Chains A and B, each alone.
Chain A
Amino acid sequence: MMDRRSFLKKLLSALALSGGALGGFLRGVPAWGQAKEEPAGKLWGFGVSVDKCIGCARCVVACKTENNVPKEPFFYRTWVERYMIPRTGEAVVTNIHTGLAPEEEIPSRPIFRSFFVPKLCNQCAHPPCVQVCPVGATFSTDDGVVLVNDKTCIGCRYCIQACPYGARYLHPATDTADKCTFCYHRLDRELLPACVEVCPTQARVIGDLNSPASPMTRFKRMNKIFVLKPNLNTEPKVLYANIDGEVR
Chain B
Amino acid sequence: MKKPLQNMPESALRLVTVFAVFIVGTIVVVKFVIPPRFKDTKIQWADTVKTEVAKPVRYAGAVACTECHDEIVAEKKRGYHRDLSCETCHGPAMAHTEDPDNIKPSAPRDRKFCPVCHTFNPSRPRGFPMINPVAHNPMQACFTCHNPHDPKPPTVPRECSACHGEIARTLSVSHHVQLKCTTCHDVPSRHRVSPRVVKPTKPSSRDFCGKCHGQESPYKGSPKIDLATHGEKYVCWQCHYPHLPEAE
Contacts and interface: CB of A to CB of B under 8 A. Distances in A.
A and B part of one assembly:
yes
Nearest to B130: A54
Interface size bucket, B side? 35 or more
Contact of A185 (B53, B87, B122): B53
Contacts of A226: none
Contacts of A223: none
B49 interface: yes
A147 B59 contact: no
Nearest to B80: A200
Interface stretch (B40-48, B139-147, B200-208, B214-222): B40-48
Interface residues of A, number: 50
Interface string A171-210: 0000000000100111011011010011111100000000
B59 A194 contact: yes
A184 B41 contact: no
Nearest to A187: B53
Contact residues of B: prevailing secondary structure = loop
Given A191-B57, A197-B59, A185 B52 contact: yes
Nearest to B117: A56
Contacts of A57: 116
Interface in B12-57: 41, 44-45, 47-49, 52-57
Given A58-B116, A149-B45, A198-B88, A188 B125 contact: no
B85 A147 contact: no
A111 interface: yes
Interface string B152-182: 0000000000000000000000000000000
A115 B59 contact: no
Interface of B: 41, 44-45, 47-49, 52-62, 81, 83-85, 87-88, 91-92, 116-117, 119-125, 128
Interface of A: 51-58, 62, 65-67, 82-84, 99-100, 102, 105-107, 111, 114-116, 136-137, 139, 141, 147-152, 181, 184-186, 188-189, 191-192, 194, 197-202
